[in-house]
Chains A and B, each alone.
Chain A
Amino acid sequence: MTTAAAPNYTSLQRIKRRTFEIMEGEVPDKYSHFVEVFIALLVVANVIGIILESVPEIHEAFMHEFHAFDVFSVAVFSVEFVLRVWSYSEKYIHSGGTAWDGRKEYVFSFYGIIDFVSTVPFYLQLLMPGADLRVLRMFRLMRIFKLSRYNSAFEDMVAAVKAEKDSFSSAVFLLFISCLLFSSLIYIIEGHEQPEIFPSIPAAMHWFVITIVSGWGNVDPVTFLGSLLVILTQILSIALAAILTGVVATAYTAQVERRQALYEMEVRSALADGVVTDEEQAKLKMMQAKLGMSDEQVESIKHQMEEEKHISAANKQA
Chain B
Amino acid sequence: MSLEKVITSVISLGITLTTPLAIAGIGEVISERSGVINLGIDGIMLLGAFLGFHASLVTGNIYIGYLAGLAVGLLMGLILAVFSVSLKLNQAITGMGLYFLGFGLSDFFYRTIYGEREVYLSAPSPISIPIISNIPVVGPSLFQQLDLVYFSYILVIVAWLLIERTRIGLWIRSVGENPKAADAMGINVSLIQYIAVLTGSSLAGLAGAFLSIGITQVFYENLTYGIGFIAIGLVYFGKWSPLRTYLGALIFGLSWSTAISTQSYFNAIGRADLVYFLLAIPYIIITIALVIVSRQARGPKWLGKPYLRE
Tell whether A and B belong to one assembly. no
